[in-house]
Structure 1
Amino acid sequence: MSKIGLSIQMNHFAKALIILVMVSSVGSIAQSPNAHFLPLQPHKVQWANAVIKNALQTKDTIQLAEGWYLYGKIYQAAGDNLTAKRYFMRSLRFQEKRGDSFELSRLYYRLTEIERMLFHYKDAYRYAQLALQVAERINSNKALALAYSSVQSIHEIDWSEGGKNQKYPSINHDSVLYYLRKKERLLLKYGNPMDIQVVMINLGGELQRKNDPKAINYYQKALAICVKEQKPSEIIIAKLQLGQAYLQFKQLDKVKILIQEIEKDAAKLPANLHLLDKTFQINQNAIYRDYYATIGDWQKAFDYTQRVHAAERQKFLADREGAISRLSIEYETEKKEVELKAKQRELQLSQQSQQNQQRFVGILAVLLIGALTASIAFYRISVKNQRLSASNALLVHEQNHRVKNNLQLVSSLLNLQLNRLTDDASKNILEETQLRIEVMSTLQRTLYSGQTLGEVQMHDFLNEIIKVGLQTFGYEHVQTQTHIDSSLHLPIDHAMRIGLIVNELLTNACKYAFPDHPNPQWTLSCHQANRLCTLQVADNGPGFIPPQPITRKSSFGMKLIQLQAEQLYANYSFEINKGSLFQMTFKV
């Protein structure tokens, strides 16, 4: 064959290969990435079950909301978005009642992801905005990072479907870059290294799309973080993306070095971290294909093009089988649910029919027995009610007596232990514990000596706590002023939590405000307007404000105050105003 003929054939082969590479690249861009779903993990399901069970037993709505959230995450990871959404909505009903919090912003972020997967633009946009608004109000760095991701993800999707639907927007790369920049600034100050690495990768991708060479700098920063954090799989992925950038900006010598490094790094990966899945094979072979096509080695470029297509085909078949398997499972699950509902409906109809028959027979019996039988029945019921009332009164008295004795026994045991201790810190802890038990004892005496069942007269209850606390610490001479509505009655659980808070504040005052003070004073006010109750406690000591926020290192008393306030869904604050001032408001 002549050199001219060989040259013509090589030119035809090169043109065909370039066209094939272009078609393959367009196809990979147009095709949306397939999500990798996890099967339902039994240990996580068991944990969520345990959280919900404990929440129902303790009637803790916050914990119950967390349990529903855990269920939503499990089903979202398994690809069952509809079931995940139902659990997230259950959690949302509780979290929205609490007001702004990190948990609420996190829920809006999760719901944004769900609506994106379901391709619901309006709902996804609304939840993303809500996540951002809550995060800004609570000024939480973690919540803001999630919220920026939510809004960014909205602008990454072509909701118009290539311009077919003009009512919805297309991809807005400027907005994507804007929120990535905001997230970058935030995470560089407060984020962990791997979160920063993800943002660097995303910024590199956006700049690479704009043909901006700065993309290389971001990929290099991401790679440096992966190397520093010793993340083998992430290092290889970062090198693949950096290699694509080097190719785009014609830095071919660096591409060749990276290809050699990727091959060595992939061979060293442990079996459990190996990246030889279809996505990795596609990306690895694609960079080889593009590199050899760029340097003019058409035979190798063609070989790697075939490998890309083979890996894409295998991935497509695997994804299709997974989708068919998930659809089959969903179909069988829905079928069983429909059958179960049908059986339940039949059972309900049968029970209703039996109840109707029993009612009809009962009515006939009542009509036949007549007035005499009714009179006898009323008489017997009256006698029985009298006996039950007497029995219940005796049981209540006995219960009151036993509770009183048990509390006294616990206090006595603590007192015995207190006398044996020599460590001042341990003595203080036991003394404070005795005061907390005394709060419960005072509540028990107030409750059962009052006229209303299930409610506590707060005036006598709080005054008794103050009296006992001052006597315990030897500060009977302290000037105290109380302003408590004499008509204020609160439920038992509210009274207990307020009593514990007042006891802790009084204890702090006796320990830190009253010593060495020439004229110690202590004031308390508690009143209710409509359904809003306000508690204020102040002293004229040197002033004390707990660290914000309260952490694990905080004192037990401060943690107890925070816990009781959260259980009341209350807003509270500490201030310095010629002493310490504690204010709390909550709904009754």
Structure 2
Amino acid sequence: MKGSILRIVFIGIFSLIDAFTCEGQFIDLEGAKPYKKVFVETDDFDDAYLTILEGSWDKVNNDTISLSMLNDLAYYWHTRNLNTSLSFAKKGLALSASKNNLLWKGRFQITQGAILLRMEKLDSALMVLKDAESKVKEEDLAFLNTQLGYVFERRGELDKAADYALESLRLGEKLNDKKAIALAYSDLSNIFWKQSKFEKGLEYGLKSIGIFEERGIKDLDYDFTLYVVGNNYFNLQKHEEAMDYYNRAIAIGEQYGFYNNLSDVYIALADLNAHLKQFEAAASDGIRAVKYAELLENDFMIMRSWLSIGKLQNLEGKSEEAIKSLQKCIEVATKDFGDEYYLSQAYEALGFAFAATQAYEEAYQAFIEYDKLKNSIFTAEADQRISLLQTEFDVALKESTIKLQETELAQQSTRQTIILIIAGFLLLFILVLYRNYKNNKEKNALLEKQNKEKEFLLKEIHHRVKNNLEIVSGLLALQSAQLKDDNAINVMQESQNRVQSMSMIHQKLYQGTNLSTIEMKDYFNNLGTHVLDSFGMVQQVDIVYEMSALELDVDTAIPLGLIVNELLTNALKYAFPDNRKGEVKLALEQKTDELLYLEISDNGIGQNVNKKPAGTGFGMQLVNLLCQQLQGKMNRLQQQGTSISFEFRTEPHNN
């Protein structure tokens, strides 16, 4: 017993000595330079650096250094626990606001955006990062663009993600920022890997590794790049090289406590060992991946960890267990899960698991989801490539048909004269028919090509309109950031929401299969989520959508979207004061072939008809004008809240 106590005491003493030694390596509160920036000026410390930063950042007298330390603390905590990380980021935002320091507010917003996107709050992350652009310096923009690229990568929009990586590369080269250049190459390597262009992915990954090693700093992004290079080697069937890079990544992750990278690498190791039929090692790797993901409280990593375990169980023939793991994986993902790349893999693996248990109906539904998700991440370039391959196939088919006919003609040349004459007439007739057939086929192919081009152009127009509306929304956000008057800020926010409601229409048009109609339930769901998020009332107010799927033309959908936006805004502003919880119901129904019924109601405090309306009244003026535009009739009911209903004359659009 006595020996055990002494051993514990000695261990404690040595731990304290190590901690103080570590602190001395990057923090010297009494020195001329109290802080050596972690993973920039030094990586000479152990995994206790976050504890040391937490105990030191508020003891520095220099505001800039103190804010820099707090920002590093917030950012690098996201490698251990996302919720803790977010709490430090919010503390930094509050501190920079209290000091009226716009630059550091922007930098903390970049950190906040990096955390939010890893929490799968992609829309919120995008909004915060966009808001930070006008506040920070040019030297911060490469890192900001990297985070924006991650948002679109998670959404499956790899072309946009690549655009941001290339912009980071341009800025890095302009400013001679080796870290920015290395990180851009790393992001491109990861994007090419997701596109299954493994040779190109390996090329960029090794470029990134070379620059990182030239810097001489082993940081989070160098660790992640080792993992990405390992992924490309794995898919190129170079298993020893992949294993080497994975092990190097694990060593750094364990040294500094990068739980997110460790979870990533153990997922990859589980896949590699499963591929090599090392099932016991793969299972152990999967369990470790789950452990680190749960320490992070990162649903994205938890989902991927269970996906890896489910795929392993499929390979082992444990289909029932695979179904449970994959269903858990999809349950963690939820309907708002941002990364369609991994979610598509989950449904594909679930389809194989169901099929192995002869649950063919469930397998069929899983494969439908897989196809839907996989198709959603196709790019225009990929579509063009498919069209080119189809053209090449058609040309080869025509050449094959012509050669076959020439062979048949050569065989007929040995027959008797009368047969040759008859064959000549038949050949002439066949050639005429073939020419007509070929001409018709070429005309049809040309028409089909023109239709596809027009459809692509229409989608591109809607895409550009949506982007321009987002620019307008961003400009309004920038303008509102300069305002001090609360009323003016509210007007700007409401204008942003109106622009956003129209932007969503055009987004649905270019993402959907029908370029002339909008499915209103999904549109209202997205609009409601956006409005709740913009007012910060997601936890306070629920929106219930009492409607079935219904498609309407654009000329009807846009005014309806603006009407619903205005009435939702009014409800959130006035119906639930003093943080009162409540519910808003939104109903849309095609009563008859020509009659459309819309109702928005809440269970808030209601409106005193004898009291002067709050605000400018512009919102209700706009609703009245839009109602007249749709030749509609509006009814208002004040009873246990507010209910406003409309009847419009319109025509339905069914699939």
Q: TM-score range by the shorter chain?
A: 0.3 to 0.5
Greater RCO, 1 or 2 (C-alpha within 8 Å, sep 6+): 2
Between structure 1 and structure 2, the one with the greater Rg is: 1
What TM-score do the two structures reach when normalised by structure 1? Answer: 0.37
